Amino acid sequence: MSEKLYEEYAVLDAQIKQLNNKKDELKVQILEEMTTNEQKNVETSVGKFSIATIKSWTYTDKVADLEEKFKAQKATEQSTGDATCEEKPSLRFTQIKL
């Protein structure tokens, strides 16, 4: 077992989390600046920044009920063997608390 390989992975994982947090902070700042300046697009030396509209849907109880029935049917097919399952290896990493 190469301990260095595992350590390198853990360090990269921590750095990626820090970078993603920093990116999220900058995103909020950029959106605030663009909104304040009433800009939809900003061209920079590193690329173009645009404000995009993202839709978020809220559904009626009828759809929620159908969703529950769908989940129940999936569980039934899994338990009866009618549904098929494919298993493949995946790496899970749990960082120690420092």
- On whether the CB atoms of residues 81 and 1 are closer than 8 A, the answer is no
Task: With beta carbons less than 8 A apart as the criterion, state whether 67 and 73 touch.
Answer: no
Q: Is 76 helix (H, G, I), strand (E, B) or coil?
A: helix
Whether pTM > 0.75 for this model: the answer is no
Burial class (CB in 10 A: 0-12, 13-18, 19+), 34: middle
Q: How far apart (Å, rounded) are the C-alpha atoms in residues 4 and 8?
A: 6
Tell me the pLDDT of the chain (98 aa) as tens digits.
699 999 999 999 999 999 999 999 999 999 999 999 999 999 999 999 999 999 999 999 999 999 999 999 999 999 999 999 999 999 898 888 76
